[in-house]
Structures are given as C-alpha cells and as structure tokens.
Amino acid sequence: MKRANIYKNTLLALTVTGVVFTSCKNKPKQVADVSVKEEVVKNKQPNIVLLFVDDYGWSDIGYRNQTFTTPNLDKFKKESLDFNRAYIPTPTCSPSRLSLLTGKEAIRLGMPRHISLDKNNPNAEYNLWPTDPVQMPSRNYLPLKEITYAERLKELGYYNMFIGKWHLGHPGRYPKDQGFDAEYGTTNAGHPKSYYYPFFKAEDDPRGFLKSGVKEGDYLTDVLTDGAVNFIKDYNKEKPFMLSFWYYSVHGPSIGRKDLLKKYQDAGLKGKYAHHAAMVEAMDESVGRVRKALEDKGIADNTVIIVLSDQGGAYTNAPLSGGKKGGNTLGEGGARVPLLINYPGVTTANTETNVPVQSIDIYPTLIEIASGKKCEDTQINGVSLLPILKGETLEKRNLYFFRSYEDQYAAVMAGDFKLIKYHSGTYHLFNVAKDISEQDDLMGKGLQIEDELKNDLANWEKEAVPVYTK
C-alpha cells in the first residue's frame, strides 16, 4: 500500500474510511442527564464497564508482587480471564487512548507520541519532540472523523458515560464530541498537578470540574470513583450502558492517599515508591467500589468488566525489563500491561491465556459483545478477543509497536519472539516466553525467525508509517 502524506492534513486511508463509514459519524444529540424516569430492565445486551488505569505496570498487582495490596484486583482475577501477554501498540498516554478508542495502531494516524501543545500555538495539528532523533511530527488530537467504540455502541443502543482522563484533544474534541453521551472529570491535562484538591490548574479545566462540588481534602481517584458509583446507582434508562472510567492514577505526580501511605513507609518503601504503592491501593479500592455498585444495583450478572492499563509503570517493572522511562519502553516492562476480562456466562473463572493480544483488540470485542454478531468494521487493525473469552484461540498474527521519542522506535512480535529495532541500526531479538526479562539476546545466533521478523517489520513500516513532507 502506498504510504500517505499526512503532514498536510490527511491520510488517504482516512478519506476512504470517512466515505465508507459516514453512517458511523452521524452523531446523535448529546445527552448529559442520566436521571430520566425510565423503567430499569434486565437487558439482553450486557452493560460494559471499562476500567482503564494510567501507567499501571504489569508487575504492580498483588497476585504478582506482594509489595502491593490489591485485594479487589486479586479477587477479580480469581473470577475472570487473565491475559498474561497483553500489549499496547504505542505505549504512551495519548496514542494508547487512540488505539483503545478506534481499534487502530496509533502510528497509522500519525500519533507516535503523547499530545504536547505549544502554548504559543495551541491549535497546531502536530508537535515535535526535542530528543527524537528523526524529529517525526506527532498529532495533537484524535481527528473527529475517526470512528470510536462509543459511536459504534451508540448505534447498537448503548448509553455511553465517560469519566476521567481524556488526553486526546481539547474542547471541541472531547468525549462528547466522539460519541459519549456524558463526561465527568475530563480536563485538558495529561495528569493532575496534585491528587489532592484542587487537582488541576484552572486553565486546564474548561468544563468546570473544579466547580462541581469537589473541595479541600478530596482525593482525585476517590472523587472520580464517586462519579462512577453514582452513575451506576442512579442509572435508570431502559437501554444498556457502557461506562468508560479512564483513571488519571497511577500516573505521576506520585502522591499517595494519606491514610494509606504510612503502612508502605513502615514496610520500608522509600520516597515516591511508597506513594506509588499507596496510589495503587487507592485505585484497587476504586475497582472494588465500582464492582460493589454493580452488585448493589443487581446488574453484576449482566455486566462485562474489563481492566486494562495504558502502558508500563514508571518505577521498577521487575521481572520485566524496561518501563515507561529509560529508553526501553518497547521492552516487556513498558509495552506489556495488565488485562483482565469478566464476561458473566462466557469467561471461565480463574483462567489465564498466554496468547499475545493488543489493546486494539478491545474495539472489535466490544462491538461483538454489544451486537451479538461478528464485527465487520474494516478500518480497524485489531481482532475480536471473543474466541479467547469463550475458551478458544485466535489465528496466529504479528503484533507491531512504534514510538518516536528516542533511538528505540519499533518492534514486532510473532508468537514467543520479539524483535526490537533502533534508529541507530541496532536490533535485539528475544524469546519472551522463555526469557521474560529479555536478558538473552538471540540476534546473530542463526535463527530463521531473525530474518523473517526483520522483513516483516520493514514491510509493515512501509505500509503503516506515514511519510511526512515539510
């Protein structure tokens, strides 16, 4: 496929998609009120709750690492299907959200980095990154023409509620502009200035979240969880709902809830890492509160719950190598994330899968859960996970990764093997099933898979990565 020039505003593929799927973009009237007096009924279509945690490392969960106290996630794991090898195609804030919403590899839309606005040019379509060796432009927003899972679920009769961190554009490009019926806690910020009130700078709060009744002493994760719990408790529409709760936590600044912090300090955790552990526990409490609200409402047996992170953690991700920072974000510690799914009557409790999957697979999975039919959307790169949820498997495929911050920039995964590529010409090859810490580099050892993955990655780059002209 001929690569498109998107620096001058468009991708050919997007233009075609916009024609084929225009019906998906007929956005209905936004409805913020969820208190309309309608009879609550047991829907055949399940409700869906997506809990999307920020910077939550694969290892930062109690059943993998006793440093952390996560009783609610530990319990949820015992009741769910745990994806041991779930990945983010572009592991960083904004691109991970783009991929989750659209089912597309973010680089295909020209977003290899997080949104970074220039205050002197806030409407700029692209940004540059000082340390990027190739100075690749990156989009500053999700184009409105893109089809989101919220828009597709709306077509299927769902009410869409959004809570929390957006980081895909400013007003005019907010959740309610992309298919969601209502939003709460959404700001321009990629992270709060503090997890204690007032949370955000006033200029980053155009929707007035700071004037919504929050007050001194409030902790952001708890406030947003209150919003989620109240939404579930008060929801009385006849149609099913999808609640997208996208946490700001556990992204920095690492500021643990005061009542939880001391026990981690007493346990010997130092500095910000103790705060991080307290933040993880507060997030875990949030998961428990949301689940209890579903149970109290009497709808837990007809609600799918998905827990996912947007990228690896900012601290140690041992035994995985790499992480959010440090130049090895495409290592397992940066790209591999927690993913647990509970689909009542479909998933088997306390089961695991080692099939490699990516966050782009959530979009078609949601469509198939909501419609009861195969997802026929042709503009996406992901595949439905429903076969795995049913105890079956997926056809073998390659998974691709791309970022543009530093020397390390691309990777491809085929089964147990992962090839990582650098602008400087370096490659690394690992069998991540046998070598989870990526310490035994297999490059140059005569494996046939080396040349196959080099060719696969080169061909994918030619097909997927935009060409920019100035």
Task: Using the predicted structure, report yes or no on whether residue 285 has a pLDDT greater than 80.
Answer: yes
Q: Are strands 86-87 and 357-358 parallel, antiparallel or unpaired?
A: parallel
Which residues partner with 242 through β-bridges?
48, 160
Name residues whose C-beta falls within 8 Å of residue 26's C-beta, 6 or more positions apart in sequence. none
Residue 115 burial by Cβ neighbours in a 10 Å radius (0-12, 13-18, 19+): buried
Task: Using the predicted structure, report yes or no on whether residue 352 has a pLDDT greater than 50.
Answer: yes
pLDDT band at 470 (very low <50, low <70, confident <90, very high): low
More confident residue, 27 or 169: 169
b (16+ CB within 10 A) / e for 136-161: bbbbbbbbeebbbbbbbbbbbebbbb
User: Tens digit of pLDDT for each residue in 243-284?
Assistant: 999 999 999 999 999 999 999 999 999 999 999 999 999 999
Token pair 């040349």 in the structure block, residue: 451
Q: What average pLDDT does range 102-119 have in this prediction?
A: 94
Calculate what percentage of the chain has a pLDDT beyond 70: 91
Calculate what percentage of the chain has a pLDDT beyond 90: 88
Q: What are phi and psi of 420, to 5 degrees?
A: -115, 135
pLDDT of residue 25: 40
pLDDT of residue 120: 80
- Residues 385, 365 contacting (CB under 8 angstroms): yes
- Report the candidate in 145, 143, 157 with the shortest Cα–Cα distance to residue 25: 145
User: Tens digit of pLDDT for each residue in 290-329?
Assistant: 999 999 999 999 999 999 999 999 999 999 999 999 999 9
Q: What average pLDDT does range 423-435 have in this prediction?
A: 98
- Report the candidate in 220, 229, 223 with the shortest Cα–Cα distance to residue 250: 220
More confident residue, 350 or 119: 350
pLDDT band at 121 (very low <50, low <70, confident <90, very high): confident
Token pair 């973009």 in the structure block, residue: 25
Query: Which of helix, strand or coil describes residue 196?
Result: strand
Task: Using the predicted structure, report yes or no on whether residue 5 has a pLDDT greater than 60.
Answer: no
Which of left, alpha, beta for 51 (phi over 0: left; psi -120 to 50: alpha)? beta
Name residues whose C-beta falls within 8 Å of residue 341's C-beta, 6 or more positions apart in sequence. 80, 81, 83, 304, 305, 306, 307, 347, 385, 389
User: Tens digit of pLDDT for each residue in 40-58?
Assistant: 334 589 999 999 999 999 9
- Residues 88, 299 contacting (CB under 8 angstroms): no
Give the mean pLDDT of the chain. Answer: 91
User: Tens digit of pLDDT for each residue in 363-412?
Assistant: 999 999 999 999 999 999 999 999 999 999 999 999 999 999 999 999 99
Task: Using the predicted structure, report yes or no on whether residue 30 has a pLDDT greater than 70.
Answer: no
Task: Using the predicted structure, report yes or no on whether residue 24 has a pLDDT greater than 50.
Answer: no
More confident residue, 371 or 14: 371
